[in-house]
Chain A
Amino acid sequence: MPITWPPKLLRSPAVRVGLSISVATGLYGVSFGALSVTSGLDFWQTMALSFLLFSGGSQFAFIGVVAGGGSGFAAMGAATLLGMRNGIYGMQLNVLLRPRGWRRYAAAQLTIDESTATSTGQSDPDEQHRGFWAAGIGILVLWNVFTAVGALAGGALGDPKQWGLDGAAVAAFLGLLWPRLKGREPVAIAVVCALATVLAVPFVPAGVPILIAAVVAAVIGWLSHGRQDEGLEPDIDPYAERHPGQHAGTGGAT
């Protein structure tokens, strides 16, 4: 990829989309940082998740299990299972961008919902490259900055329940789930997994109901034959405003 600097770079539509999605996604790092420290993680554990794990859903899953009294193993399990979709994104991006050498290892770390969607939403190969790197690097930087802000603010709040931070966690998970509930089938999967969770909670240790729901979802995925990219929508769709009502997500572009 040739290195070009502004103003030419800023004229690229993919870079503009990548930067705006960076701001939108980065800002909700505040929620993650605040919830993480009130879940019982310390500042550096919170930052390690945002920098090293760097995948919103998996990070929220990890702290969500810890907050509920689940074991470290269950937290790791939930985060790892939620990270599976990044492997599918990696495969798509490898075909699309063909990164070589060290760039491949850097691209892997930057492979998340939003960078994949920004890249696959472009049709020109150069724009696909620029979109991926602009969104990936932009989100990595802002997500970490705002995680730190949230972690410092959350630590200063005192009793998290008084501020409704457990309610904030509920809202955050629903917010991550919501964009993936397009159509009847994903809603049915969500309902079945929610029911499985409710039934399991009284009988197994904290954290395990989430893993049981993952197994239920995996079996549904194995047996059913719906849309191939179902559930692989990004948390924030970079092209939502340009194409209202139609997602530009993964696998749609050529």
Chain B
Amino acid sequence: MSLWVWLLLACLFAYAWKLVGYLLPASLLQNPRMSRMAGTMTIGLLASLTIVNTLASGQALVPDARLGALAAAAVALFLRAPFLVVVLAGAGAAALLRLGGWN
């Protein structure tokens, strides 16, 4: 139940960000520092999410088959594979490594 509340709040705030650009005078947001922070935060958050999903298991750092998924995805991206292929490469690598006995 409470997840619904946070989820709907997330939706509300997401729309608020989008709308704020249309409603505020451009000069207010045309601050180069704001744009830059939006960009660096996007990079930082996605890097953090990547690493958390690769290594974290609750509050422990656990190296497991997900490292293989990261490597496979990196190779796929390097070869300019489309997003879906990248995701499938990650899933396939993790599944195969587990089949091979590495958790």
Q: Which of A140-183 contact B (CB under 8 A)?
A: 161-178, 180-181
Indicate if the CB atoms of B48 and A45 lie closer than 8 Å: no
The residues of A that contact B52 with a CB separation of less than 8 Å are 64, 68, 197, 201, 209-210
Instruction: Specify the chain B residue showing the minimal Cβ separation from A190.
Output: B47
In the bound complex, do residue A228 and residue B6 qualify as a contact, i.e. CB atoms below 8 Å apart? no
Per the 8 Å Cβ criterion, residues 15-40 of B in contact with A are 15, 17-24, 26, 29-30, 32-40
A229 touches B59 (CB 8 A): no
Known A57-B42, A60-B49, A177-B50; contact A94-B22, beta-carbon cutoff 8 A:
yes
The residue that B7 contacts in the complex, of A45, A84, A88, A197, with Cβ under 8 A, is A45
Assembly CA distance A88 to B98 (angstroms): 42
Chain A residues closer than 8 Å to B14, beta-carbon distance: 52-55, 58, 79-80, 83, 86
Chain B residues with CB under 8 Å of A239's CB are none
Interface size class of A (residues with CB under 8 A): 35 or more
Q: Which of A163, A167, A180, A206 contacts B43 (CB 8 A)?
A: A180
Which residue of A has the minimal Cβ distance to B80? A240
In the complex, chain B residues whose CB is within 8 Å of the CB of A12: none
* A86/B91 contact (C-beta < 8 A), A27-B84, A213-B48 known: no
Residues of chain A whose beta carbon lies under 8 Å from any beta carbon of chain B: 24, 27-28, 30-31, 41, 45, 48-49, 52-55, 57-58, 60-62, 64, 66-69, 71-73, 75-76, 78-95, 99, 104-105, 107-109, 111, 161-178, 180-181, 186, 189-194, 196-198, 201-206, 209-210, 212-214, 216-218, 220-222, 224-226, 228-232, 235-236
Q: A174-B74, A198-B61 are in contact. List 19 more A-B contacts (CB 8 A).
A: A24-B83, A73-B6, A86-B17, A91-B26, A108-B19, A111-B18, A164-B65, A167-B95, A168-B87, A168-B88, A172-B86, A173-B50, A174-B73, A189-B47, A190-B46, A193-B47, A206-B56, A217-B44, A218-B41
